[in-house]
Amino acid sequence: MKIKKKLNNNVAVVTDKTGNEIIVMGKGITYDKKAGDCIDVEQVEKQFVPSNKDFSMKFQEILLDIPSKYLEVSNCIIERAKKYLDAEIDDNIYISLTDHIHMAVKRYLDGMQVPNPLLLDIKRFYNKEYEIGCQALEIIKDQLKVELPEDEAGFIAFHFVNAQQNLESSKMVDIMKLVKEITNIVKYQMGLDFDEESVYYYRFITHLKFFAQRLFLENKQYTDEDNPLYHIVKEQYKKAFNCTQSVVKFVDNKYNYKISKEEQLYLTVHIENIITKSKK
C-alpha cells in the first residue's frame, strides 16, 4: 500500500494495487514515513474503504484536528461493542464517537458538565448499549486518565443505538419517547411495577422499539386480514386486550397511525406475559 496522505503516525490514506483509496490504521505504521512511501500490509490493524467522499473527508478532518489517542480509545470501545452487541455497526461511528469523546473530555477538563435528560430512558430501553457506555467510561479512565460522569455513558450508548440502526438522533428521541408513552399507559392502566430484569420486559420493550421504528420510518397503514388468533386472544386476555385498545387510541390520536390487528395481537400477548410474570 502506498501512502497518499499521512494523517498521523498511526493513520494514513493509502492506495492499493488497483488504485482504490483506503484509510488504514495501525500502531506506528506511518512513523518516519511520508507521502509516496509504502506501508507493510502486515502492520495494518484496521482499514476502511470509504463508501463515499463525504465519509472520507470527515474522517480525515477529524484525525487532523483531534489527537490520535482519542481514535485509539474510540476504536477500543467500538471493538468491544461489536463483540458484546453482536451487531453490524455503521463505520460513521468512528467519526461521531471519536469527536464526542474528545469534546466530552475537553468539557470535563474545562469544568463543564452536560446533563443527559434521556439517561434513565436509555438505561431502561437500551440496556446493552448502556452497558457498553459504562465500559467505555472505564476505558476512557484507564487510557485518558479522565473519569467522566454517568451521563456520558448514556451519550455514548446513544451513539451505538444510532450506529446499529443508522438513524438520525431526532428519530431516536422520537422512538424512545413513544416507547416510554406506551409503557406508561400499560404501567398505570394495569397497575404494574415492571421487573426490568425479566425476559418478558425485555421482549416487550424490544417489540415496542421495532414497532416505533416502523411507525416513524415507514409510517405505513397496513390492511388488516382476519386472523382467528386475534379473536381468541381478545377473549382469553381481556384485561391485556383492553389495555392494548388504550394504546391503539393514543397512537391514533397523537400520531395519526392506526395499529393493525396483527400488531394488536402481539402487543396483547406481550402485555399478558408481563401481567402474568408480575403475579409470581
Domain boundaries, position 145? 68-166
Task: Dump pLDDT digits (tens) for 65-87.
Answer: 888 889 889 989 999 999 998 88
Tell me the longest C-alpha to C-alpha distance in the chain.
75
Task: Dump pLDDT digits (tens) for 15-37.
Answer: 877 777 888 888 888 888 888 88
| 186 HSE (CA, 13 A, CB side) | 26
**Are residues 136 and 88 part of one domain?**
yes
**Are residues 186 and 93 part of one domain?**
no
The Cα-based distances of 196 to 147, 202, 249 in angstroms read 28, 7, 26
Confidence check: pLDDT of 209 > 80? yes
Residue 230's pLDDT band (cuts 50, 70, 90): confident
Q: Domain containing 147 — which CATH number? A: 1.10.1790.10
Strand segments (E) across the chain: 2-8, 11-15, 21-25, 46-48
**Are residues 123 and 82 part of one domain?**
yes
* pLDDT on residue 90: 84
Residue 220's pLDDT band (cuts 50, 70, 90): low
Total structural domains within the chain: 3
- The model's pTM is 0.70
* pLDDT on residue 124: 82
